[in-house]
Structures are given as structure tokens and as C-alpha cells.
Amino acid sequence: MTALASCAGATKRFGDFTAVGDVHLAVRPGEIVGLLGANGAGKTTLIRMLLGLTATSAGRVELFGEPPSRQTRSRLGYVPQGLGLYDDMTPVENMQFSAAVFGSGTAASLPEGIGEYATELVGSLPLGVQRRVAFAQALAHRPDLLILDEPTSGVDPLGRARLWETIADAADGGAGVLVTTHYMEEAQECGRLVIMADGRVVAEGTAAQIVGSGQVVLVQAESWSAAFGALEGAGLQVALAGRSLRVPGADPAVVRLALGDMPATVRQVPATLEERFFELSSQRQQA
Amino acid sequence: MREPETGPAGTNWGATELYVSHGRTVALRGVSLAAPAGQVTAVVGGDGAGKTTLLRCLAGSLGPDSGTVRRPPKERSGYFPASSGIYEDLTVAENLDFRANGYGLPRKAGRDRAAEFLERAGLSGVAGRLAGHLSGGMRQKLAVIAAMLHRPDLLVLDEPTTGVDPVSRSGLWWLIARAAAEGCAVVLATTYLDEAERCTSVLVLDGGVALASGTPDQIVSAMPGALRAVPAKPAGDEAALSWRRAGRWRLWDPAGLADSAEHAAGRPPAGSANGAIVPDLQDAVTVAALARQSGVLTGGAA
Amino acid sequence: MWAMIVKEFRQLRRDRRTLAMMIVLPVLLLVVLGYAASFDVKTVMVAVAGPQSGLAAGLLKAPSFDITQSAPGRGRAWAQDQLRDSHDEMAVVTGGTRPLVLIDGSQLFAARAALTDLAGVRYHVGFTGTRPSSVSPKVVILYNPGLTTSDIMIPGLCGVVLVFVGTIITSLGVVRERQSGTLEQLAVMPLRPRDVFLGKIVPYFLVATVDLAIVLAVGIAIFGVPFRGSPATFALGALLFLFVTLGIGVLISSVSQNQGQAIQLAMMTLLPQVLLSGLIFPLTSIAAGVRWIAYFLPLTYFNEISRGVMLRAEPIAALWQPFVFLAVLGAVVVTGATLRFRGYLAPAGHRRGGGTAAPVPQEAGI
């Protein structure tokens, strides 16, 4: 199966600074690939390279088997972070414009439930509705590859689920999807994850594979704020979770020692994807 | 402009039965929130749910049509508005100076505290950089520092972590935890459920109405009905009560009996052969939204 | 490409401010260029004094001349005051060996017209006594003897600088707060609305003052523009005018969502003032049907003050009209601006039933 989008050793340098370094990536039909990374990790630059907006400094980037070009654009559906809709036009007008540009004949009809908003200006619509319009617009010309930059940011959980149904439907229909997200719970929706830090890929696989057997120390103390202070004082990285504290990358014995006589339970629990992600990103920074 | 009276430490800040409407739109309908000192309270909901309106009432920049707000006077409150409230054409240090000055902090104390927070949040190298040139995550961290610089009794943060990558988010959470540890009552609006799970109590808003409130565990155990895994998207009426998660479909049965004892113990109910799912906070919140949307009235929320 | 055209039209249709500018501006220019833009002064206003006032008045015929005042019992001093206080543009003083014609050089175009028209006046015999004589008048051009343009432009420029800083830059400064969302943060800080309002205005006030000082210094030192009148009067006039323009700037910012809109609106208030206030085209040559607009423009009045004080040493008493107008307008504009500003900083809906209550004492522990 040829990849819809692929990067082989893709690199981009701006002077001395390497924004993207030696990235290998492939999106195949029917796949949903999640791209995770801190801001500045190179996700945006990589996407720009895939879209053909930025040239590579080294390595190869291919869309549908050839370097990105204006022709390949018409097989691509892209929803940027800012949605790419005109606030001062109605959804219908936006879709007409898009249809005319992509040459897909008459504009596809608006998705169900948006009908009542058809004649209002996009700028005055709730965010969830705007996102659905942006999706509909990107899908209208039946693209083979979807690139979505933080497609569900700011939407409520039910709305996110509905948006993901649309994404999954597109993938089921044979399209390949590349998604960036900051929602850890959405990482579960992706068939495969690619984690970037500092321009490089630091982990790849399913969420379960990436978390592996990582563990953190869970501290449950009577007075969490005292425990917080004690652990910080010992130089440990502490995160608050409800009334418990989680200490990644530490030995339970060390934690117990730092707490001294404080009444608290200390045990190891599995790490979350987010904690593993954090670990990978900071390791890369220290490297 | 009336200022509310201060109360002793540990006072119960919050709001009761707020009604707010903007023109013909009702932004909040009978919403109450408790914000105890030393705790982080989350307000969860999507765009348009009313989170910003609620937080603006708590911060004092908006007056409700009816209901009461219990908040400290301006100089004892800190606010991170939806737009961050940071001047992009001032440097990091200048922004914090302005804030310290505006709240009457003595110069040296303000500077020392700012330096400590900047360092712990990983911003000490950029003190001289224009705020507009910071990345999104760093700017949010700066805004939170600016809001808590004067040690407020109540800290109101409107989506400080939205759009911020998980690495910066952990830095932000350190600041939030520190504020709570100092005895501050923190109210945080968020769209991330994993963050809500880390808070002591959660209020779920949808369309201006409170769908659920309580600790995360309480919200889950109070979820009405039961959840079942189904092989494919159901047809007909059931389609509206189902959603897809991690590649599989789940269906909410409003009348289904949730075996609450098993629930609480975290074990799947005896009938797990028929695909019963143990719900988590994300499920409970989704169900609450579905219940409201489909008009299925259940007793429900705590 | 067609799709782009359609899209741009749709967006334009909804952008009311740009549409207004595209329609209003050409109409304004048309009106101005058609009716207002003229350097021709058709009628010169004249005061006559001295024993032969009647004879002199008879010689100066309409429509070139309009005898507005005749004072047979008065002399040169009175005639000069009429010019100084801008009651007339030319004065004739009779009673000496030659009649004396005083022309106000600070009314540049009227002065030129007067000179031209005077050449066409035929002087009869017999002013005094029995001997026939043909006596041409002695012509003295006061206040701007060289009839230089810079002498009248620089005082006008003072006004333009103040309008610029006051209106355009202030509207940008305040709108910036709204646009960046920091206005809400100011609302919840323990700052009084007055502090915020004044704190935002004062820097622009100072900038405008410095600008004005520079224009004056350069004008006087390099262009040789005179400053004959009372600095105190000038300063007071500038102060009042600045209040008006700063207030207008804040008002513009209160109805603008972003800096682009603010600039558009500010331009629409600047352009009429530059064209119709007498800065470039003399007021008297603007057709009456359009001239009434000038009397609503603040710059018109400040121009009178600045030219009067700098060139003619006009006393404040004679300038009471512009001063009063500016004072009243200033009060109205600043009040309006303050009220609108306060509306942003005080929480809305405060009076409507909602309130704050003292916190309820809670049992220890949660």
C-alpha cells in the first residue's frame, strides 16, 4: 500500500536552528495517525513541509507518491488551527467559495444540524458549529488525505466525540488522516501515535506501546500541601492530582524519605500517557 | 461600586443561583459553584457552555442578573481572563511590574516572588523578552504568574491550558498547585477532562446549565443508567444515545441498572458478558450532555 | 479567480465602515472641490473711518467690496483694531493728506484680492478744499507684509498637529487595550476608572504638547513666523482644543473594535477638518451652502485663535467666540468619553438585582 503522505529523513533548518530533524513518517489509507508534541517541537513545520508550503533542507517529503505540488493539493483536505473560514461570510458562502476553488462543482450540502445556521455569519456561530463547518468544507471534495491541526480544541466532550465520528468515517472510507492534538484522551482515538520533541521523533506506536511499563509514585497524604512542600524541598518534581500527589521518575524509597514522618501512603502506579509524553519531551531537552 | 466584605481565611467563596443573559441569549441559568480555599475547583464545558460568563462573575468583571456572588475585594482577587490579560508589547518583567504596582505590592517583595515563579515555571531566561514573542504555553504561564503574584484569596483562571502542549501544561499545573498550597481558592475553567479529574471538585456546564457537580468520583457514580459496548453504530433512536470512543461504539441505556456497589469498587458488573462498561469521568460527562440534548429526563446529577 | 471575486464582494457588502468610506469620501471631495476649494475671495470686508468715510464708501463698490462698518468719528487705531479682531479684512482711514488703506496680511487671499481690486478703483478729485486732486491711497499691509504663505500656514499647522495626536493616536491607544483583551484585566484590578482614563490620556497630552512646541520653535526660528500675541492666550486655546481632540479620540476608540476601524473613523474626522476649516481654503470663499459645516469643526475655531494670536496679537476678549465654542465642545466630548469609558470598567448589570454578599462562615475543613 503506497503511503498517502510520507517523510523520509525530512529535515528543515533555519540557519543554525534545526526545526525538523530526520523525521520518518508515513500515513496510509484508512489510518489515523496522531502527531503529538510540545509547542516548538516541529509539528507545524513538518505539516507545512507536507503541504508544500516550506521546502525541505534535506530528505524527502512526498504526497501521493510525488513531491507536494498544486495538483496534489486537490486531493488533500486541510483544516488549520484557525479553521480557515471567513468570519464575515455565512457557512454556505464559505463552502461555495471552497467548492469553486477546488473545482468540485456544486458545493456539498451542509452537514445535518447545521441547517439552522446556514445564513448566519461564521464569526457569530458557536465554536463547535464552526468546527463542523470547517470539517464539512475540507471533506466536500472527497480528499484522500486529511491533515487536521488541533481539530477539537475548545469543544465539549460530546462535541468532540461527534467530530471524531466524522474523522473516523473518513478513515473508514479509505482516507488517511494526520491529526495533531493536545488532548491525551484523543490520543486513544488514533491508530498510531508519533511523538515529536525538539524536531525529532522520540516515540512511535500505539498509546499502550508508548506508555509501556512506565510507573510513577503516588502519594496520598493527610495534608497534601505539606507533602507538596516537603517533596519540592527535596528537589523532586511533583504534580497535583485531586488531593494526591504524583511523582514521576522517582524511587518510592526516596519519596518516602523526603516525606519523613508525615502520615502518607506511598506506592507505585502505572504512568499515564501524558506523564510518559512529558518524560520523553524533557529527556530530549536534556540530551 | 460596591465591594464585598472580606471574610476570615477558609471562607467559602463562590456563587449561588446565578442568572445571566446577554440580550436574548441566556448565558447562565441557575448555576451555583463553591470554591473552597486551598482547593482547585474545575469548571468543565465546551465553548458556549457559560464557563467564561461564570468566571467573569466570580472575578467581578460582570454582574449577574440575579443570584449572589461571594468574592473577596479586588485587591484580594486574581484573574486570568480568556484573552490572558497580558500586554504583548511589554516584556515579561514589565508586565509583572505593572501587575505588582497595580495591586500595591511592595517593590522588592513583588520582584522576588516574580523571580521565584519565573524560575520554577521555566521562564527565567526570557524575563527581558516581549510577551508577544513568547510561545503560547509560556505566555499562559506568565499570565498565571501575573494573576497570583499578589497572593490572592481567590484565583480565577479561564482556560489557562487550552491549546497549550502537555509539557507547558505541567508547568502551569505546578503554579496552580502552589497557589492552592498557599491557601488560595482556585477556580479553573478547562476543556480537558484529565485536568478535571485532577481537581478536588468539578462543575460541568452545558448551554448555561449545570449538568453535574461534585468530586470526579461522585459524578461518575451518580451517572444515571448504564453503558454498554456495541459492535457497530446503532440505528434509529439509539443512534442519538451512542458515541464512538477509541474505535468502539458505546451505547447509553438510560433505564439500565447500574450496579452501584460494583461501580464504586471499580469492578465491571456481573453482566459484563453483555458488554457493560465501567464509566469514567469522560463517559459520565458525555452521558450528562446526551441526557440534556435528547431530553431524556433523569434524576441524575449530584 | 471568479470565486475570489465573488468572495471579496460578499465580504465588502458587509463591511459597513469601508463602504461608508468609499462612498462618503468621494462625495465629500466632490463637494469640497466643487464648492469649497477656491482661493478666490469675491468680496472683501471693509471698515471705513475718518471724516470722508462716506466718500470712501462710495468709491469702494460691491461686489468687490462690502462696507461692513462706517465710523466717521474714528481714526487709525480703531481701524487697526477692526483688522486685529478679524472683524474686517481691510480698513480705510480718511482725514489725512492721503487716505490710508490698511490690509490684513494674515488673511492672505483676501489681501491679494483687495490689492487687485484696489487697482481698479478710480480716485476722484476733491477730497479736501477747492483744489482738484487725484490722490491715491497709501496702502499698508499689516501682520504679514510679505504676504508669505508660511506665515499663515504654520499657525494652521499647529492645529493640525494637535488634531493628529489628539484624535488618531489616542483612538489607537485606547482601542489597543480593547483589541488585546487587556481591558477586562484592568476592570478587575483595584484601579479606579478615573485612573485608567487619565493614565491613558496623559502621555498623549504630553506628546501633543511637545509636538506643538517643536512646530512653533521651527516655525519661529527657521521660517521666521512671528509670535506677536499673548502666549498665555495661545496656551489656553491649545489646551481647550487638545481636550476636544483627545476626547474625540477616546470616543472613536469606544465605538471601534480594532485599530483598523479606529483609524478609518479618525481619518473621516480629520479630512473634513483639514479641507474645510479655513486651513487651506479661506472660509469666505467657501460657498455658503457648504460653509456651515466649518462652523461645527473644532479646527476652524482653533485656527482663528492660533492665527489671531500669533500674527495679529488678538486679545482674548476678541476671541471669545472660539474659546466658548471650544470650551463647550470640550466639556461635552470629555463627559461623553468618560461615561463610555467607565461603562467598560465597571461590571455590567450591577444594579439589576444581582449583588454580592458577605461570605458565609464555613465549618472548619471541607
Environment class of A179 (CB within 10 Å of its CB; exposed 0-12, middle 13-18, buried 19+): buried
Q: B82 and chain C: CB distance < 8 Å anywhere? A: yes
Per-residue pLDDT of C51-91, as tens digits, reads 888 888 888 888 889 999 998 888 899 999 999 998 999 99
Q: Print burial letters for C190-225: b (CB count within 10 Å at least 16), e (below 16).
A: ebebeebbeebbeebbeebbeebeebbeebeeeeeb
Contact B1 C190 (CB under 8 A): no
- Residue C350 touches chain B, beta carbons under 8 Å: yes
Residue whose cell numbers read 516584556: B91
The string of pLDDT tens digits covering residues C6-21 is: 888 888 888 887 888 8
For residue C357, name the pLDDT band (cuts at 50, 70, 90): very low
Report helix, strand or coil for B27.
Answer: strand
Query: Poorest-confidence range of A13-27, C42-56, C118-132, C203-217?
Result: C118-132
For residue C210, give the C-alpha cell. 511637545
Region C122-151: what's the mean pLDDT? 74
Instruction: Name the residue among A40, A159, A183 with its Cβ closest to that of B192.
Output: A183
Q: What pTM was computed for the model?
A: 0.80
pLDDT over 90 at B210, yes or no: yes
> Are B216 and A242 an interchain contact pair (Cβ–Cβ within 8 Å)?
yes
Which amino acid is it at C111? A
pLDDT at position A159: 86
B103 and C189 within 8 Å at the Cβ level: the answer is yes
Cβ neighbours of A121 in C, within 8 Å: 14
Could you tell me which chains touch chain B, where touching means 3 or more CB pairs under 8 A?
Answer: A, C
Give the residue extent of every domain in chain B: 13-213, 218-294
| Per-residue pLDDT band at B100 (split at 50, 70, 90) | very high
Distance between CA A47 and CA A179 in Å, rounded? 10
B11 alpha carbon, distance to own chain's centre:
20
Instruction: Quick: pLDDT tens for C166-220.
Output: 898 888 887 887 777 788 888 888 888 778 888 888 988 999 999 999 999 999 9
**Segment C226-256, tens digit of pLDDT:** 999 999 999 999 999 999 999 899 889 888 8
Which of the two residues, A248 and C326, has the higher pLDDT score? C326
Q: How confident is the model at residue B16 (pLDDT cuts 50, 70, 90)?
A: very high
Amino acid identity at A272: T
B156-185 average pLDDT score:
87
Does position B302 have pLDDT exceeding 50, yes or no? Answer: no
Cβ contact B172:B246 at 8 Å: no
Element (H, E) at C80: helix C76-84
Does residue C343 carry a pLDDT above 80?
A: no
**How many of the other CB atoms lie within 10 Å of CB of B206?**
24
Question: How far is it, in rounded angstroms, from Cα C152 to Cα B42?
Answer: 67
Give yes or no for residue B131 having a pLDDT over 50: yes
Three-state SS for C349?
Answer: coil
Q: What pLDDT shows up at residue B296?
A: 67
C-alpha to C-alpha distance for C238 and B30, rounded to whole angstroms: 55
Q: What distance in Å separates the CA atoms of residue C354 and residue C347, rounded to the nearest whole number?
A: 11
Cell of A228: 507538596
Give the pLDDT of residue C358: 37
Arithmetic mean of pLDDT, B107-126: 89
d(CA A93, CA A80): 19
Given a contact cutoff of 8 angstroms between Cβ atoms, the answer to whether A191 and A32 are in contact is: yes
Mean pLDDT of all residues in A5-20: 87
Give the residue on C whose Cα is nearest the Cα of A98: C3
Which residues in chain B are closer than 8 Å to A183, comparing Cβ atoms? 192
So what's the pLDDT on residue A287?
Answer: 52
Which phi and psi (to 5°) does residue A105 adopt? 70, -140
Contacts of C313 (CB under 8 A, 6+ apart): C84, C228, C229, C230
The pLDDT value recorded for residue B137 is 84
The kind and range of the H/E element at C127 are none
Q: What are the chain B neighbours of C189 within 8 Å (beta carbons)?
A: 74, 99, 102-103
CA distance A258 to chain B (A): 18
> How many contacts (CB atoms, under 8 Å) link A and C?
21
Chain C CB contacts of A97 under 8 Å are 3, 6-7
pLDDT at position B260 over 60: no
Q: How far apart, in whole angstroms, are the C-alpha atoms of residue C99 and residue B174?
A: 93
**Cβ-contact C86, C312 below 8 angstroms:** yes
C-alpha triplet B165, B59, C194: angle, nearest 5°? 115
**pLDDT tens across C272-316, in order?**
898 889 888 888 888 888 888 889 999 999 999 999 999 999 999
Identify the CATH number of the domain defined by range B13-213.
3.40.50.300
Degrees (nearest 5) of the Cα angle C329, C331, C334?
Answer: 100
Query: Which long-range CB contacts under 8 A does C252-256 form with residues at least 24 apart?
Result: C252/C167, C252/C171, C252/C175, C253/C170, C253/C171, C253/C172, C253/C173, C253/C174, C253/C175, C253/C178, C254/C174, C254/C337, C254/C340, C254/C341, C254/C344, C256/C171, C256/C175, C256/C178
**Which residues of A are less than 8 Å from C16 in CB distance?**
none
Q: How does residue A37 score in pLDDT terms, banded at 50, 70 and 90? A: confident
**DSSP H/E element including C46:** strand C44-49
